[in-house]
């Protein structure tokens, strides 16, 4: 089998219907065109999970992949992507997590795991180098993510085994259940856990003894040393180490884009009570890092007194913390930690869960949802008892929770009210940043290939509010001003391509992006040093371009058009009511025009142009779209 530097060299297919496994080699063409991780997954998803596939049927495929830097001494690469057609959105599903699972997968000898079919009974897969076991998991049914991880480690008699598992929410087919690796490292978005459970697969456990060989150790080490030096000298090193991403909560409040009480306010009067600063000061006891990372930004907290005394866990990050505080109007930090812990154990996506709860709370506060409809719960802002009860009800699909378990878009449709305040794009709930106060992020939500999400573009430079940076990078001063609309098409295209590369290398965006450690040119340099393939800055940009367009083609094949690249009406019609971005509103149409022009997509339909697709090596996709009745010219 040919083997390439930086790659494990093998792809494992497991068919759960037939109880069979098959090993293929990682092809050179796949590497040079799609690089790894998300690129590998999106390519396979386009080719093998077609338009007619029901996300919860055995025909859907669950695909894990890692990248070429994972399992090496490179200090930023510890992640994996997991992809499938999403049961929540019906389009491309994909999520990404850190920890140690990805490195172990490489050590076991695999770049990608493709899981097909459906087992007749609950199982888990245990991979130990070339030994693959599909093992009975009846005893794990109903166990939460922590209990499952512990039980598998105990069963195997090995604490070093890495486990990625689903919880009860996935088993109950909640449409936004995640896959949890290393206990608190969720690939939470778009319902990848739900797909896993639909295959009667409870967990994937890994143990590997291999090593990842690299092409040019001397050159790689030099880059690693440069990055380490820059990291330790960076002004964000200590804040990130002490608070992780929770430091954003106070910043978002100060700048006026902190979604509060379901986006009815952009600042939270209790922000300091639930801030990353307070968490670090009063709760955190130690730090943890992903594989080979030199910024141990993950924190272990302990609640020392009160109702939840004794509760401890890892995290939370900004999204989960902010979701269960400002978004639902809760000022009790203990309660928020309890809510995040509960959501993690049950295996839920914290962002989507909190949006569903906040949506119901807004309806209740406006008198449009009765207490009876909400199973007797008083859904007032910040009611902790109701928040915890709803998390459980959602995971168990019980009563009102059964409605919310379908995500906010379907919940509003089914209830016949609240559609205008269901905050999602293409069925994926919006994260914790109000797009009216961050225009580049907002455009990113509108066009992202998995629905409303920042991690597809993460245009962090607009937070600099530095017009000179805009001129330097895009020739447009407004491009890096967060409240300006102009130049955002260029900004988002650039950072979407960059995020695609980062997700292929499976690198942490906290460091690569926000600390600016891995721009395109350095990504090319390290990829070349590790793999031995020739990569330039331009080649990296083109790989990003290819992946974004392939994912767009997946959406187009599923029927997505320009009309779907939109934000909910509140952001387009209601100016921000308060805070430092007061009065800001979102104008989507001119931004879409600019973005489509940059991308060379049809301005009316949002379909990529055939000539463009051929130019970036996606000619076969043009033919496939035509066969599927898409008017692509």
248 binds ligand SF4 (CB under 6 A): no
- DSSP run (H or E) holding 204: strand 201-207
511 binds ligand SF4 (CB under 6 A): yes
Measured between alpha carbons, how far is 109 from 10 in angstroms, rounded to an integer? 6
Coil, helix or strand at residue 576? coil
Residue 246 or 330 with smaller CB distance to ligand SF4: 246
Q: Which two tokens stand for residue 633?
A: 């010219």
Q: Which residue has the tokens 């106060």?
A: 437
Among 422, 423, 353, 359, smallest CA distance to 391 is for 353
**C-beta of 431: minimal distance to ligand SF4 in Å?**
16
Measured between alpha carbons, how far is 69 from 87 in angstroms, rounded to an integer? 31
**C-beta of 79: minimal distance to ligand SF4 in Å?**
8
Alpha-carbon distances, residue 140 vs 123, 165, 171, 438 (angstroms): 9, 10, 11, 43
Measured between alpha carbons, how far is 73 from 490 in angstroms, rounded to an integer? 34
Q: How many helices (H) and strands (E) does the chain have?
A: 26, 17
Q: Which stretch binds ligand SF4 (CB under 6 A): 54-62, 391-399, 506-514, 529-537?
A: 506-514
Tell me, residue by residue from 259 to 298, as one string, x for binding to ligand SF4 by CB under 6 A and - for no binding: ------------------------------xx--x-xxxx
66 binds ligand SF4 (CB under 6 A): no
Measured between alpha carbons, how far is 39 from 550 in angstroms, rounded to an integer? 9
224 binds ligand SF4 (CB under 6 A): no
Measured between alpha carbons, how far is 359 from 130 in angstroms, rounded to an integer? 48
Alpha-carbon distances, residue 583 vs 128, 234, 256, 442, 488 (angstroms): 57, 35, 11, 16, 19
Contact 509, 98 (CB under 8 A): no
Residue 240 or 436 with smaller CB distance to ligand SF4: 240
Residue 249 or 295 with smaller CB distance to ligand SF4: 295
**C-beta of 103: minimal distance to ligand SF4 in Å?**
11
548: alpha, beta or left, given left = phi > 0 and alpha = psi -120 to 50? alpha
Report helix angle 520-531 to 217-233, nearest 10. 140
Q: Which two tokens stand for residue 287?
A: 């730090």
Q: Which stretch binds ligand SF4 (CB under 6 A): 57-65, 145-153, 373-381, 505-513?
A: 505-513
Measured between alpha carbons, how far is 245 from 583 in angstroms, rounded to an integer? 27
Q: Which stretch binds ligand SF4 (CB under 6 A): 104-112, 196-204, 448-456, 504-512?
A: 504-512
**C-beta of 99: minimal distance to ligand SF4 in Å?**
8
Q: Which stretch binds ligand SF4 (CB under 6 A): 147-155, 503-511, 598-606, 623-631?
A: 503-511
98 binds ligand SF4 (CB under 6 A): yes
- Candidates 60, 510, 549, 581; binder of ligand SF4 (CB under 6 A) is 510
**C-beta of 153: minimal distance to ligand SF4 in Å?**
21
Measured between alpha carbons, how far is 229 from 515 in angstroms, rounded to an integer? 13
174 binds ligand SF4 (CB under 6 A): no
**C-beta of 370: minimal distance to ligand SF4 in Å?**
42
Helix, strand, coil shares of the chain, percent, nearest 5, are: 45, 15, 40
**C-beta of 78: minimal distance to ligand SF4 in Å?**
5
88 binds ligand SF4 (CB under 6 A): no
Cβ neighbours around 375 below 10 Å, total: 16
- DSSP run (H or E) holding 25: strand 20-25
369 binds ligand SF4 (CB under 6 A): no
**C-beta of 558: minimal distance to ligand SF4 in Å?**
31
Number of shown-chain residues binding ligand SF4 (CB under 6 A): 12
508 binds ligand SF4 (CB under 6 A): yes
Residue 297 or 391 with smaller CB distance to ligand SF4: 297
78 binds ligand SF4 (CB under 6 A): yes
Beta bridge partners of 112: 11, 65
Measured between alpha carbons, how far is 49 from 43 in angstroms, rounded to an integer? 10
Residue 364: Cβ-neighbour burial (10 angstroms; 0-12, 13-18, 19+): buried
**C-beta of 315: minimal distance to ligand SF4 in Å?**
10
**C-beta of 571: minimal distance to ligand SF4 in Å?**
29
Does the N-terminal peptide bond of residue 316 adopt cis geometry, omega within 30 degrees of 0? Answer: yes
Residue 181 or 290 with smaller CB distance to ligand SF4: 290
Please report, as residue ranges, which positions from 573 to 632 form the binding site for ligand SF4 (by CB under 6 A): none
Residue 223 or 508 with smaller CB distance to ligand SF4: 508
**C-beta of 185: minimal distance to ligand SF4 in Å?**
8
Point out which residues bind ligand SF4 (CB under 6 A).
78, 98, 289-290, 293, 295-298, 508, 510-511
């Amino acid at each position: 089998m040919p083997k390439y530097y930086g790659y494990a060299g093998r792809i494992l297919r497991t068919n759960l219907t037939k109880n069979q496994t098959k090993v293929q080699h990682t092809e050179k063409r796949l590497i040079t065109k799609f690089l790894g991780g998300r690129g590998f997954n999106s390519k396979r998803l386009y080719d093998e999970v077609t338009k007619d596939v029901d996300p919860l049927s055995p025909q859907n495929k669950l695909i894990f992949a890692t990248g070429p830097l994972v399992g090496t001494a490179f200090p930023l690469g510890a992640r994996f992507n997991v992809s499938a057609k999403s049961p929540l959105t019906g389009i491309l599903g994909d999520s990404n997590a850190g920890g140690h699972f990805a490195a172990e997968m490489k050590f076991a000898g695999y770049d990608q795991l493709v899981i097909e079919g459906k087992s007749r009974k609950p199982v888990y897969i245990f991979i130990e180098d070339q030994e693959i076991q599909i093992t009975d998991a009846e005893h794990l049914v109903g166990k939460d993510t922590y209990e499952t991880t512990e039980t598998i480690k105990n069963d195997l008699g090995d604490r070093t085994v890495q486990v990625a598992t689903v919880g009860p929410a996935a088993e109950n087919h909640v449409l936004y259940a995640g896959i949890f690796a290393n206990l608190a490292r969720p690939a939470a978005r778009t319902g990848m856990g739900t797909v896993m459970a639909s295959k009667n697969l409870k967990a994937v456990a890994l143990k590997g003894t291999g090593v990842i060989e690299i092409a040019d150790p001397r050159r790689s080490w030099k880059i690693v040393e440069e990055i380490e030096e820059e990291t330790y000298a960076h002004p964000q090193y200590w804040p990130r180490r002490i608070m992780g991403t929770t430091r954003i909560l106070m910043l978002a409040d100060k700048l006026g884009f902190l979604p509060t009480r379901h986006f009815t306010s952009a600042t939270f009067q209790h922000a300091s009570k639930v801030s990353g600063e307070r968490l670090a000061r009063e709760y955190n006891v130690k730090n943890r890092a992903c594989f080979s990372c030199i910024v141990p930004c993950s924190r272990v907290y302990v609640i020392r007194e009160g109702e939840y005394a004794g509760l401890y866990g890892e995290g939370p990050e900004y999204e989960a913390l902010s979701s269960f505080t400002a978004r639902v109007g809760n000022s009790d930090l203990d309660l928020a930690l309890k809510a995040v812990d509960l959501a993690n154990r049950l295996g839920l996506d914290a962002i989507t869960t909190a949006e569903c709860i906040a949506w119901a709370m807004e309806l209740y506060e406006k008198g449009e949802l009765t207490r009876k409809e909400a199973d007797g719960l008083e859904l007032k802002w910040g009611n902790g008892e109701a928040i915890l009860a709803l998390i459980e009800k959602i995971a168990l699909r019980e009563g009102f929770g059964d409605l919310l378990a379908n995500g906010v878009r379907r919940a509003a449709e089914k209830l016949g009210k609240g559609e205008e305040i269901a905050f999602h794009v293409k069925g994926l709930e919006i994260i914790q940043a109000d797009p009216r106060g961050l225009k580049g992020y907002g455009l990113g939500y509108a066009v992202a290939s998995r629905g409303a999400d920042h991690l597809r573009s993460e245009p962090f430079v607009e937070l600099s509010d530095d017009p000179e940076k805009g001129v330097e990078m895009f020739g447009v001063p407004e491009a890096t001003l967060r409240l300006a609309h102009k130049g955002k098409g260029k900004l988002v295209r650039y950072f979407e391509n960059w995020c695609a590369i980062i997700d292929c290398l499976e690198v942490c965006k906290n460091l690569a992006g926000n600390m600016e450690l891995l721009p395109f040119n350095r990504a090319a340099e390290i990829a070349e040093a590790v793999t031995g393939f020739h990569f330039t800055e331009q080649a990296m940009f083109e790989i990003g371009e290819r992946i974004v367009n392939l994912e767009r083609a997946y959406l187009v094949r599923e029927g997505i058009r320009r009309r779907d690249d939109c934000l909910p009406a509140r952001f387009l019609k209601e100016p921000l009511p308060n805070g430092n971005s007061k009065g800001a509103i979102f104008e989507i149409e001119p931004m879409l025009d600019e973005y489509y022009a940059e991308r060379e997509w049809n301005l009316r339909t949002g379909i990529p142009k055939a000539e463009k697709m051929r130019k970036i090596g996606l000619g076969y996709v043009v033919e496939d779209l035509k066969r599927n009745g898409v008017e692509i010219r």
